[in-house]
Amino acid sequence: MSTYTNCQGMSRRNCLKLGLGGLFGAGLFDALRLRGLSAEAERAGTIRREADSCILIWLDGGPTHYETFDPKPHAPKEIRGEFSPIATKLPGVEYSQHMRRLAALADKTALVRSICHDQGNHGAGNHYMMTGAPPRIPVGCGAFVSFHPSLGSATAHARGNAGGLPAYFSIPQMSRSGGPNFLGAKYAPFVVPDDPNRSGFRVRDVALPGSLTIDRFTHRQDLRRQVDRMQRITEEAAGDPVLGLDEYYRQGHDLIHSKEAQQAFDIHSEKDAVRDAYGRSSFGQRALLARRLVEAGVPFVTLYDGGWDHHVGIFPALDKRLPGFDQTVAALIEDLEQRGLLARTLVVVLGEFGRTPKVNERGGRDHWSNAMSVFLAGAGIPGGTVVGATDPRGYSAVENVKSPENFASTVYRKLGIDPGQMLYTPQGRPVHLVSDPKPIDELFV
């Protein structure tokens, strides 16, 4: 299993921490106002669900916009870098040289080139893009922060479990801000760390250990239920985290007995041609697993891919990495379309920010939150859409500028969730789901 780290040396294992941290509410007047607007919208039936599921491909570390979807071929060499642009299916729109398969799908997909924010470190940028809420206090680059429920947790809260499977999966780990915050562990992602590219792949939490029979397992569960009858001191207290963890572990127990789960994780039943199309890599086979999960009815799957923090040697690193990335994401979109799933599945590709315009003295690019690209497909998104633009040198988003709040609101709207609604903490404090609930209109018909 590969171990990618970012510039702060944070490894994959560090990211398995579950964010249940502090929270901050808004003013009561605004809370009541937005709550009323949300209820009014629901009564009017204006929140139309266009997606049953979302696959969010998270490129942890901050992928470069220059070497992916927003090349600047006419900029000086120290800005444009070593890669050449290639034409896409859209006249006048170019991607970078390794995005060949996705360039051929440009007429069926969408690209937002003008999202920007002011959080230029991993901890804060991750939180902002993964939740749609900026961190409320200064956050260090290596911090694990959770001031707000993540997109996946809020979706699980709104949609609930489907078909005997948890509503929110994260593969192979949880992003540092991918947790539920005050919603509780019940809405944390079900993490699948196992590598489906390895022979004998099995999900440890969906299969019994070889030494444990189903009778012994059931007996242990009965014993636990007997212990759980004891009155907990805090059982009646609002927001008891133990109760949420009980629900989380119950999901794991249910998965062992779930035929739907066993079937969804049986990746070996896929034809070799399909597996080859995704790429016989950990990332490729995890993308295939994500498709199998949404096919089984899971509303939200995060596909976490680390190692995009290229401060050093960005061009040789991406020469090796981008062709496989391009193949996998294109195969996912084509496979979903062939199976009739793309129309009801939102696919999103992003990270926490973009990279600096000038290549540094170590041959890399550093953090840059003034400009980034977000790639989308499916769920009724108008094909061939390019939203916004950066300046000719890629320094800043300058045309039709969008915020992380606009991005989060778009995801929620596609999933039929009102971004303007209020959530309530266990203590009764109102919290905006998204403080600015305006979506990116160009991504809706």
Look at residue 39 in the predicted model and tell me its pLDDT. Answer: 43
Top pLDDT among 145 and 378 is at: 378
Q: Express each pLDDT in 210-248 by its tens digit.
A: 444 445 444 444 544 444 444 444 443 444 555 555 665
Mean pLDDT, the chain, whole residue set? 84
Q: Express each pLDDT in 98-135 by its tens digit.
A: 999 999 999 999 999 999 999 999 999 999 999 999 98
Assign 252 a pLDDT band (cuts: 50, 70, 90).
low
CB 192 within 8 A of CB 203: yes
Lowest mean pLDDT among 74-78, 144-148, 153-157, 218-222: 218-222
Look at residue 253 in the predicted model and tell me its pLDDT. Answer: 62
Look at residue 46 in the predicted model and tell me its pLDDT. Answer: 63
The average pLDDT across 272-284 equals: 98
Q: What is the pTM of this model?
A: 0.84
Lookup: tokens for 367:
């953090």
> Helices 151-159 and 404-414: crossing angle, nearest 10°?
30
- Which 8-state DSSP code applies to residue 167? S
Lowest mean pLDDT among 46-55, 88-97, 286-295: 46-55
Lookup: tokens for 401:
């500028």
Q: How many CB atoms lie within 10 A of CB 26?
A: 15
pLDDT at 42 over 50: no
Lowest mean pLDDT among 69-73, 245-249, 311-315, 420-424: 245-249
Lowest mean pLDDT among 50-59, 218-227, 417-426: 218-227
Domains of the chain (ranges; CATH) run 13-443 (3.40.720)
Write down the H helix ranges in 81-213. 100-103, 122-131, 151-159
pLDDT at 329 over 70: yes
Assign 364 a pLDDT band (cuts: 50, 70, 90).
very high
Burial of 76 (0-12, 13-18, 19+ CB in 10 A): exposed
Q: Express each pLDDT in 164-217 by its tens digit.
A: 789 999 999 999 999 999 999 999 999 999 999 998 888 865 544 444 444 544
- The closest of 411, 376, 422, 380 to 111, measured between CA atoms, is 376
pLDDT at 66 over 90: yes
Count of helix runs (H) and strand runs (E) in the chain: 12, 16
Assign 161 a pLDDT band (cuts: 50, 70, 90).
confident
3-state DSSP assignment of residue 107: helix
3-state DSSP assignment of residue 168: strand
> Helices 122-131 and 404-414: crossing angle, nearest 10°?
40
The average pLDDT across 260-289 equals: 94
Given the structure tokens 């995890």, which residue do they identify? 286
pLDDT-above-70 percentage for the chain: 76
pLDDT at 14 over 70: no
pLDDT at 38 over 50: no
